[in-house]
Amino acid sequence: MLPSKIKAEVKLTTGTGVSLAARELEALAVTDAGAVGLVAVLFVGGDRERDGRWTIVDAAGFFGRNGESVSSARSALVATARTQSWLDPLRRHVDALWPAFLHAFVESAEQGHAGLVAELETLHAERRLRERVPRDRVLGVEHLANVKELVRRHGESDAGRLAQDLLAYLLALVGYSKVTLNAVGVPDFVLEGCTVGDPVKHVMISLVRTDAERVVALCRAAGDERLALAVESKIR
């Protein structure tokens, strides 16, 4: 199942690790059942395998450190992610669509934060966000060039802000109706109103595992990531 609510702290770095301030961690604490606090890091530079990809971990793994700031190397974050399988549906969604999503809005990012968010917000409200995402596969070298160009044009700090905007709406595409971006303060964004799994007009279908997995693959091929995740969440 997808989290009922997502609170996220987002980092873009050209280094080999990231630091999280105490106030950033505190803002990711959740009390609602089904909610999750996430740390999402986009590494740019130094690792062919991970460069340009999001590393997403549950922030709960950082708690209990006496409120002090913490630092984590890329390798430690990747290792932590491997142990947090409950976030795999979100990770698969991001991994599958991030190159195409960035490609779709890389030119819009030239407007800066305000212009990009205005466009993303309008498309999301009108449920036309998915229409902008190309279905053709974006080559790895092209995607990495897009990420590096974002950093070259805007600098690491502003590129991080734009990446934060893009990730928020990419995750919202799964089925979150409300997106709250924090221009100042923490967390960086909050997603609410998850529509995947809403108890409305449920239809019960029994499939063998291989057929269910094929349905998931067909949904993804058709560009319907929301339905793919809904089916995938029911596969045991």
- pLDDT for 114 equals 95
- pLDDT for 198 equals 44
- pLDDT for 33 equals 83
Q: What is the pTM of this model?
A: 0.82
- pLDDT for 236 equals 63
- pLDDT for 189 equals 97
- The C-alpha atoms of residue 130 and residue 199 are separated, in whole angstroms, by 24
- pLDDT for 202 equals 44
* Low-confidence residues of the chain: pLDDT under 50: 198-202
Note the pLDDT tens digit of each residue in 161-194.
Answer: 999 999 999 999 999 999 999 978 899 999 999 8
Q: Is the dihedral of CA 140, 49, 90, 112 positive or negative?
A: negative
Note the pLDDT tens digit of each residue in 74-88.
Answer: 999 999 999 999 999
Q: What residues does 194 pair with on adjacent strands? A: 176
- pLDDT for 199 equals 37
- pLDDT for 230 equals 72
- pLDDT for 63 equals 63
